[in-house]
Amino acid sequence: MTEVDTTLLNDVDINAVAGLAGKIQQEPEVAATKWNALVKWKGGFRSEATIRDFAPIASDEPGALGGTDSGPNPVEQILAAYGNCLAVGYAANATVAGIEINDLSIELEGDLDLHTFLGLKEGHAGYDNITVKVNINSSASAEELQALHDKVSSTSPVGHTLGRAIPLTFEMI
């Protein structure tokens, strides 16, 4: 592969990412980050999540689940979060590898049994599995794209979060 100026490849400012990585190598404590969201109930099954200074993200349930279908439900948002995380991973890692992405789409589908959520039986209320299908259009070789896929699928923070049990702490304030 030829040397490519990766500063603007795939619309990614890889220098900013490299700068952060360099800072973390010098000051490892910088890597310990904390992320926040504030969710406010809006009545019924509607709520809004506010993250940083962005417009609120609506959430609701489909009509069949008693909602008004005014926004994606939380389990759909999990799929979207994972897909968005993978898209970031593809853009960043393709840029580092000098791979130009012409088009990228990621389809996600999850199987979820509603029995536990609806209180009809004890058990697991979350996804039983999630399937991801990546469609990437690039002039890169099949080997380069496989290496890119392997890197992205093994380093996704959302993928790692979904793939293992993490401690959850609940408290009333």
Q: Pairing relation of β-strands 103-112 and 57-59?
A: unpaired
Strand order in the sheet with 57-59: 38-43, 46-50, 57-59
* pLDDT block averages, 10 residues each, the chain of length 173: 60 88 94 96 98 97 96 98 98 95 98 94 95 98 98 97 93 93
pLDDT of residue 6: 47
What gap in Å lies between CA 20 and CA 10, rounded to an integer? Answer: 19
pLDDT of residue 131: 98
Amino acid at 111: D
- 10: DSSP letter: G
pLDDT of residue 18: 87
pLDDT of residue 7: 58
Residue 81: closest CA among 156, 166, 169: 156
The CATH class of the 9-33+73-162 domain is: alpha beta
pLDDT of residue 1: 44
CB 92, CB 20: distance < 8 Å:
no
Domain boundaries along the sequence of the chain:
9-33+73-162, 35-72
- 98: DSSP letter: T
